[in-house]
Chain A
């Protein structure tokens, strides 16, 4: 019985059959349909959707297998979430080596999208910390892949968008910390040049960097706030530490008119001016520092039923003008929402064949869907990104054309040989033009 589903961006809506997995020993369902694993569905577009086909729901695979608190090696099933890992490991002095901006993602999803975090300039992608995993293929074979065994399949599966098979369990390397607190600094900047300067100064001494930019203030394109931080050292451990666990839920779809150019401008204005001094430094808990949006459960309902598109691209670092041009075009269109993020990616290579991150500047922001004009704007941004040799992130995408996808990822054909014949996704059929 197929039912309607959507991913985090709430676009597109698809009909698919759900096959829940409960045990890592479960075999794949016998079906003529194409299959695809789905974790927590936190991808914005259709990489985790399989229209008119079958989804393997992996959240039932959420058991830990072994954790060595001396070496920080964690061995768990693929449906375990980063939130569950943090709850287990932070009290024992270990942290995720790389984390995206939400902790409600599974290990399987983090591997398949080879996710990145605020420390990409130093640490690279999540895939670098994957020691091994088991891949269950439609032939029934279970392959243990690592940088030593089934190496090519290992590399294809990291960032492989779930197409190479089902990851049933994985072993990852965590990172030592002394305390859950982060030493943070936030600094206002007035334009893109100032952002690049701050980024250059900070990349060396700060593990985590990331900026919020105002994409609506046409008078001064590229003003924003630069956030940087480090885990505290053993000498800085505070005596007392309060952990707040307040959560807010957006209980229903907000009507479209609540998010309009004025409310967005007002939000951005308030956000930019929230700090009175140019620079503020303090100790913060890791949770609000890394996952500010997780405090508002289901914030994606804010954009209403029609949903939204997130756009994340990376453009070469040398080309400052390009990012300014893109920001200008977005600001002029008045179509973007308030959550715009800018960050420098570093050079640390990722093991994944199809991984998105590469050296450059990455910009990510939301666009509530307002019909054809929204799609047209993003199409023209795609072309700009292609011109300068950049790329768009599949895990945020729901609309990229085959031509542009194939230009960003010329290795897609080489990657294709690792795709399991029974696995496919809505995304893959779209960007390869398959039906």
Chain B
């Protein structure tokens, strides 16, 4: 049976992913900030077929709580075999440029908190020698761009960290998956104008489940972002620095 720990369980992408696992009768431990929202998700997953759903409300930036919560999750589900880390914030780049405290918070939420969680989880998984750790990063981490390089920095650093972790845990039979979605129509991007390149969270969720099943290392979702990011990453810097992306 799949025993899933989801961090940032109220995220639109995470909710859709959980729905798919619920149909496969998975057991869940959900972590997010809001108790009421967690309860709503837990009810939904139970109706859809989940065998068990427990949850805990906390701000993920309370780093000192991480090991207690992970311990609680493992105890509730009598072990863990799948982790999905989905929380994140898309902070206003312009504000961050003027205010280091905001930048620091963005880096903490999107990068440091994940490192803290994975420090504990990696050691646990390394010992048990089975399972999959899936983390939602972003195409924004592939190249720094003037319009959102603070968020991009956090996601880029996360990509490097996950690469290293994958390299470390591979010999222990643990799969580490870096998920790189493109534009997703979710609350995070509610104020953006949507166009052709935008995908629904359901589509991203299907891709995540498939990539976990196939024990992939890295996945662009939808797939065509691989091509887009290949081109963007290969534009020579002397040209790129003049572009307004």
Residue numbers of A with Cβ under 8 A of B are: 1, 3, 20, 22-25, 60, 63-67, 76, 88
Shortest C-beta distance, A413 to chain B (Å), equals 38
Shortest C-beta distance, B187 to chain A (Å), equals 6
Report the nearest B residue to A169, measured CB to CB. B40
By a CB distance below 8 angstroms, the chain A residues around B48 are 64, 88
For the complex of A and B, 3 pairs with smallest distance between CB atoms: A64-B47, A63-B44, A67-B47
Listed by A's residue number, 15 A-B pairs whose Cβ atoms lie within 8 Å are A20-B187, A20-B190, A22-B187, A23-B36, A25-B37, A25-B40, A60-B12, A60-B187, A63-B40, A63-B43, A63-B44, A64-B43, A65-B40, A66-B47, A76-B47
Report the nearest B residue to A65, measured CB to CB. B43
- Determine whether B112 belongs to the interface, using a CB cutoff of 8 Å to chain A: no
- Docked Cα-Cα span, A67 to B50, in Å, equals 13
Contacting pair B44 A65 (CB below 8 A): yes
By a CB distance below 8 angstroms, the chain A residues around B40 are 23-25, 63, 65
Contacting pair B37 A23 (CB below 8 A): yes
B12, B36, B37 — most chain A CB neighbours (10 Å): B37
- Determine whether B57 belongs to the interface, using a CB cutoff of 8 Å to chain A: no
- Determine whether B41 belongs to the interface, using a CB cutoff of 8 Å to chain A: yes
Question: Given that A20-B187, A25-B36, A25-B37 are contacting pairs, would A88 and B47 also be in contact in the complex, using a CB cutoff of 8 Å?
Answer: yes
- Docked Cα-Cα span, A3 to B44, in Å, equals 32
By a CB distance below 8 angstroms, the chain A residues around B193 are 1, 3
Extra contacts besides A23-B37, A64-B44 (16): CB < 8 Å: A1-B193, A3-B193, A22-B187, A23-B36, A23-B40, A25-B36, A25-B37, A60-B187, A63-B41, A63-B43, A64-B43, A64-B47, A65-B47, A66-B43, A67-B47, A88-B48
- Docked Cα-Cα span, A22 to B34, in Å, equals 13
By a CB distance below 8 angstroms, the chain A residues around B190 are 20
By a CB distance below 8 angstroms, the chain A residues around B47 are 64-67, 76, 88
Report the nearest A residue to B22, measured CB to CB. A64
- Docked Cα-Cα span, A3 to B41, in Å, equals 31
Report the nearest A residue to B44, measured CB to CB. A63
Shortest C-beta distance, A86 to chain B (Å), equals 14
- Docked Cα-Cα span, A3 to B192, in Å, equals 12
Q: Report the interface size for chain B: residues with CB under 8 A from the other chain.
A: 12
- Docked Cα-Cα span, A180 to B44, in Å, equals 24
- Docked Cα-Cα span, A63 to B38, in Å, equals 12
- Docked Cα-Cα span, A25 to B43, in Å, equals 14
B1-57 CB contacts (< 8 Å) to partner A: 12, 36-37, 40-41, 43-44, 47-48
- Docked Cα-Cα span, A115 to B44, in Å, equals 25
- Docked Cα-Cα span, A88 to B46, in Å, equals 12
Shortest C-beta distance, B98 to chain A (Å), equals 24
By a CB distance below 8 angstroms, the chain B residues around A67 are 47
Report the nearest A residue to B40, measured CB to CB. A63
- Docked Cα-Cα span, A63 to B44, in Å, equals 5
Shortest C-beta distance, A249 to chain B (Å), equals 15
Shortest C-beta distance, B196 to chain A (Å), equals 13
By a CB distance below 8 angstroms, the chain B residues around A23 are 36-37, 40
Shortest C-beta distance, B141 to chain A (Å), equals 26
- Docked Cα-Cα span, A132 to B47, in Å, equals 19
Shortest C-beta distance, A363 to chain B (Å), equals 36
By a CB distance below 8 angstroms, the chain A residues around B36 are 23, 25
Shortest C-beta distance, B191 to chain A (Å), equals 8
By a CB distance below 8 angstroms, the chain B residues around A65 are 40, 43-44, 47
B113-170 CB contacts (< 8 Å) to partner A: none
By a CB distance below 8 angstroms, the chain B residues around A3 are 193
- Docked Cα-Cα span, A374 to B193, in Å, equals 35
Shortest C-beta distance, A229 to chain B (Å), equals 29
- Docked Cα-Cα span, A25 to B44, in Å, equals 15
Report the nearest B residue to A74, measured CB to CB. B47
- Docked Cα-Cα span, A88 to B187, in Å, equals 26
Report the nearest B residue to A22, measured CB to CB. B187
- Docked Cα-Cα span, A22 to B190, in Å, equals 11
By a CB distance below 8 angstroms, the chain B residues around A76 are 47
By a CB distance below 8 angstroms, the chain A residues around B41 are 63
By a CB distance below 8 angstroms, the chain B residues around A24 are 40
- Docked Cα-Cα span, A66 to B47, in Å, equals 6
- Docked Cα-Cα span, A66 to B45, in Å, equals 10
| Interface 0/1 of B90-129, CB less than 8 Å to A | 0000000000000000000000000000000000000000
- Docked Cα-Cα span, A64 to B210, in Å, equals 24
- Docked Cα-Cα span, A23 to B33, in Å, equals 14
